[in-house]
A and B are shown apart, each in its own frame.
Chain A
Amino acid sequence: QVQLVESGGGVVQPGRSLRLSCAASGISLSDYGMHWVRQAPGKGLEWVAVIWYDGSKKFYADSVKGRFTISRDNSKNTLYLQMNSLRAEDTAVYYCARGEYYETRQDLDYWGQGTLVTVSS
């Protein structure tokens, strides 16, 4: 059974940093691009970032570019999101999701349950 489990969320002050993790079981992440998607309280879904299966390419939403870094450790079957210079508007539930099969674009078919990040003083 495929499972993606996010962790690392919590309450953090503006300007501080946080690192999220997404651990996979039942699948090998090394064949797939992996994404982060977030959802602010009461709002819609916002795509955040993607990293290709081998880590060779990364793309970010303009809203997080220069502040967030997506990475992966295929030996640990784990995805990460390093979030620096956090702002109140980064408050959201953060989901990881599986995407591209190697370099072939495909939909986000498996999602984790999400981890809540609250940026507040």
Chain B
Amino acid sequence: DIQMTQSPSSLSASVGDRVTITCRASQDISNSLAWFQQKPGKAPKSLIYAASSFQSGVPSKFSGSGSGTDFTLTISSLQPEDFATYYCQQYNSYPYTFGQGTKLEIK
């Protein structure tokens, strides 16, 4: 199975800040990586697919990059609604696997 390791597991930031979350795969997954945002009590929301492509309706403040084993999600100009938990997920091979999540909190 492919292991996905996210860092950091938690992050404190202020409104207006820019933050970066990293995700590392235990083997090459090409660009078969997605990023999700999840708020308490809600289903995950797809933000980015194919490592760097936006889902429809996702603002350009979210950007993804990387290929192979190392990936990043960057969120610029943080707003109150951006504070949530973020997950990466590989869909290169079964079983699909998720990172452990990064909880983004307001400082």
Chain A residues in the interface with B (C-beta under 8 A): 35, 37, 44-47, 50, 59-62, 95, 99, 105-114
Contact = CB atoms under 8 A, between A and B. Distances in A.
A62 B1 CA distance: 10
A60 B94 CA distance: 8
Contacts of B32: 105
B46 A44 contact: no
Nearest to B1: A62
Main secondary structure of the interface of B (DSSP, over half): loop
A108 B43 contact: no
B96 A111 contact: no
What range describes how many residues of B lie at the interface?
A: 20 to 34
Contact of A47 (B36, B92, B97): B97
Contact of B43 (A44, A62, A114): A114
A54 B76 CA distance: 41
A44 B96 contact: no
